[in-house]
Chain A
Amino acid sequence: MTNIKKLNISKSLLLDCKQTIKDFPLAYETYGKLNENKDNAILVFHALTGDQFVTGLNPITKKEGWWATAVGPGKAIDTNKYFVICANVIGGCMGSWGPKEIDRKTDEPYGLNFPVITIRDIVKSQETLLEYLGIKKLLCVTGGSMGGMQSLQFCATFPNRTFSAMPIACSTSHSAQNIALNELARQAVMADPVWDKGKYIKKNTQPKNGLAVARMVGHISYLSEKGMQEKFGRKLQERGDYDFSFNADFQVESYLRHQGFAFVERFDANSILYITRAMDYFDLSKQFKGGLTEAFKNQKTKFLVISFSSDWLYTTKENKETVIALNAAGADVSFAEIKTDKGHDSFLVNEPEFLKTIKGFIDSMHIKFKNEKRI
């Protein structure tokens, strides 16, 4: 993994589980240039299975970055204009400190000896990166799904460290349904005998079947019922009639299997356990005595919360609850619901109305931020 930029974080970090860590790697990538006034930096947070390679060619997977639809030269978040930063979350598997890294105490990969981390731990570790890059105040923090949660966490933990924030398709805490779906993914991994309580990593193997099923669960939840029906319906996969077998007769089956097994090539099964856990533990209201209102008190950050009408994983209602909490705290908040059939995945695909909205917001925030800096 030679193409991975890594920052060694030497300052100690007290995790929510009470363990203190230091001297750990944080892998990151940047796009565009930080301008002289340092008013064009945008911190992007990736979702559950994302990584730091936001756009362009991902040097590890050799595929396009996960947010290439929105970020890049001339795109909605224009890297000719903005300096985009993204770090691999701790607990992940693209170079940051995670369960497949070597534990210096044992000289073996952590596996389940890796501590259970939280969204707050993830965000705290990334703030160090900003110090390293010499950025005092960001123009914007943004991300979809778990990336949106990190955006909210960042604002709550580091008030006024960013001029604006754009949490997309997320919530301030995981619902029972969110936790249930994550548990399904974890159980799929753990039910695979290869998993072996996380020790597969020492044998240089991977519980592929379990991890693929976990990914399939995810893919179902990212699409809307209508979107799925329109895309696949009851269409058969390269055959005229049923096979009278358990092969992938239907296109939707073939799609899920393909997504599942492509995923195991690039992701670590233990990372899925740790990151889904971090999402489940996320409850911003629990971190502050006065609840959510307290979390967003005294914020000067300008928020834009975006939801998608057909997203059933993080519904418009849940996103609106974030807006209500921000309003109750007297924060400056905007909210837009994008009407689309593309479900939770809408932020990752080419959804013109969504892309126009984020471009409009970031460009107008940049003008305001520049003015603020001038004063």
Chain B
Amino acid sequence: MKKEFKVIAELLPKNVRVLDVGCGDGSLMDLLIKEKNIEARGLEIKEEYVKKCIYKGLSVIEGNAETELHQFPDQSFDYVVLSQTLQAFYNPEKVLKELLRVGKSAIVSIPNFGYWKVRTSLLIFGKMPMTKTLPYNWHNTPNLHMCTIKDMFNFCNEKNIKMDKILGINEDKTSQIKRSNLEIKNLFSKIGIFLLS
């Protein structure tokens, strides 16, 4: 189980309704149902993942989050989760707005382009970074809009999106991110998790 999923599960209260956007093979939904008695639904673009979810008895809709979130009514979920996918959309701003329309709150995680290994890769080796959280080559990456935790922080401020909590994950450690420690956490977190409303 990914560390990130455990952190997301801890962020969520029990017995709520959650939409997992880009739910993959349903690992997170499985965890949320078992540990938090959460009513979980998924949206997934890849046919093979959709089928995996169906075989597990999970509720999943095959579809594209970029264009098909409109099918969910306003505020029909307590939380909408988007794990490490925001950067892959053509229009992340539009998707983020949709997440906050469908959910009362949204949990958005991003692979942090400001992580020191990413920075040194470009600085020292002069190559586009490839890490565990960013495993692609420049030419085949689905990540169209890479950003750092700081970028996301500034973006939410600019768009008046309320940040209820920000967490940074580095290996096994999870820490809270605030304006005061933003610079340092932006350097040492692999993944940033934003609880938005």
Docked pose: A330 CA to B75 CA in angstroms: 11
Q: Give, as a whole number of angstroms, the nearest-CB distance from B134 to chain A.
A: 29
Inter-subunit contact B54/A327 (CB<8 Å)? no
Q: Is the interface of B mostly helix, strand, loop or mixed?
A: mixed
Inter-subunit contact B62/A335 (CB<8 Å)? yes
Inter-subunit contact B71/A368 (CB<8 Å)? no
Inter-subunit contact B54/A304 (CB<8 Å)? yes
Inter-subunit contact B71/A327 (CB<8 Å)? yes
Docked pose: A361 CA to B54 CA in angstroms: 6
Cβ of B72 < 8 Å from any Cβ of A?
yes
Inter-subunit contact A334/B61 (CB<8 Å)? yes
Cβ of A47 < 8 Å from any Cβ of B?
no
**A334 neighbours in B (Cβ, 8 Å):** 50, 53-54, 58-61
**B47 neighbours in A (Cβ, 8 Å):** 336-337, 339
**A337 neighbours in B (Cβ, 8 Å):** 47, 62
> Given A332-B59, A333-B59, are A360 and B54 also a contact pair (CB < 8 Å)?
yes
**Interface hub of A323, A334, A360, A365 (most chain B Cβ within 10 A):** A334
Inter-subunit contact B53/A356 (CB<8 Å)? no
Which of B53, B57, B62, B63 contacts A367 (CB under 8 A)? B57
Docked pose: A164 CA to B60 CA in angstroms: 14
Interface size on A, residues (CB 8 A): 25
**A333 neighbours in B (Cβ, 8 Å):** 59, 61
- Residues 126-165 of chain A, each 1 if its beta carbon lies under 8 Å from chain B, else 0: 0000000000000000000000000000000000000000
**B59 neighbours in A (Cβ, 8 Å):** 302, 332-334
Interface size on B, residues (CB 8 A): 19
Residues in A336-363 with C-beta less than 8 Å from chain B:
336-337, 339, 353, 356-357, 360-361, 363
Docked pose: A336 CA to B46 CA in angstroms: 10
Inter-subunit contact A327/B72 (CB<8 Å)? yes
> Given A327-B73, A336-B51, A356-B51, are A364 and B56 also a contact pair (CB < 8 Å)?
yes
Docked pose: A365 CA to B57 CA in angstroms: 6
Cβ of A220 < 8 Å from any Cβ of B?
no
A-B interface pairs (CB < 8 A), number: 57
**A357 neighbours in B (Cβ, 8 Å):** 51, 54
Cβ of B125 < 8 Å from any Cβ of A?
no
Q: Give, as a whole number of angstroms, the nearest-CB distance from A339 to chain B.
A: 7
Cβ of A102 < 8 Å from any Cβ of B?
no
Inter-subunit contact A368/B62 (CB<8 Å)? no
**A330 neighbours in B (Cβ, 8 Å):** 73, 76
> Given A302-B59, A333-B59, A334-B61, are A323 and B71 also a contact pair (CB < 8 Å)?
yes
Docked pose: A294 CA to B71 CA in angstroms: 16
Cβ of A4 < 8 Å from any Cβ of B?
no
Cβ of A262 < 8 Å from any Cβ of B?
no
Residues in B52-104 with C-beta less than 8 Å from chain A:
53-63, 71-73, 76
Inter-subunit contact A335/B57 (CB<8 Å)? no
Q: Give, as a whole number of angstroms, the nearest-CB distance from A104 to chain B.
A: 48
Q: Give, as a whole number of angstroms, the nearest-CB distance from B6 to chain A.
A: 24
Inter-subunit contact B61/A335 (CB<8 Å)? yes
Docked pose: A166 CA to B41 CA in angstroms: 17
Closest residue on chain B to residue A304 by CB atoms: B54
Docked pose: A357 CA to B55 CA in angstroms: 7
Closest residue on chain A to residue B60 by CB atoms: A334
Inter-subunit contact B55/A336 (CB<8 Å)? no
Q: Give, as a whole number of angstroms, the nearest-CB distance from B48 to chain A.
A: 10
> Given A324-B71, A327-B73, A360-B51, are A336 and B62 also a contact pair (CB < 8 Å)?
yes
**B76 neighbours in A (Cβ, 8 Å):** 327, 330
**A332 neighbours in B (Cβ, 8 Å):** 41, 59
Docked pose: A353 CA to B50 CA in angstroms: 12
Inter-subunit contact B61/A368 (CB<8 Å)? no
**B73 neighbours in A (Cβ, 8 Å):** 327-328, 330
Docked pose: A320 CA to B68 CA in angstroms: 10
Docked pose: A36 CA to B73 CA in angstroms: 41
**A367 neighbours in B (Cβ, 8 Å):** 57
> Given A323-B61, A327-B71, are A336 and B50 also a contact pair (CB < 8 Å)?
yes
Which of B41, B50, B55 contacts A364 (CB under 8 A)? B55
Closest residue on chain B to residue A339 by CB atoms: B47
**B61 neighbours in A (Cβ, 8 Å):** 323, 327, 333-335
Docked pose: A323 CA to B53 CA in angstroms: 17
**B62 neighbours in A (Cβ, 8 Å):** 335-337
Other A-B contacts than A330-B76, A334-B53, A364-B57, 16 sampled, CB-CB below 8 A, are A304-B54, A323-B71, A327-B61, A327-B73, A334-B54, A335-B61, A335-B63, A336-B47, A336-B50, A336-B51, A337-B47, A339-B47, A356-B51, A361-B55, A363-B55, A364-B56
Chain A residues with CB under 8 Å of chain B are 302, 304, 320, 323-324, 327-328, 330, 332-337, 339, 353, 356-357, 360-361, 363-365, 367-368
The contact sample of 30 A-B pairs, CB cut-off 8 A, is: A302-B59, A304-B54, A323-B71, A324-B71, A327-B71, A330-B76, A332-B41, A333-B61, A334-B50, A334-B54, A334-B60, A335-B60, A335-B61, A335-B63, A336-B47, A336-B62, A337-B47, A337-B62, A339-B47, A353-B51, A357-B51, A360-B51, A360-B54, A360-B55, A361-B54, A363-B55, A364-B54, A364-B55, A364-B56, A364-B57
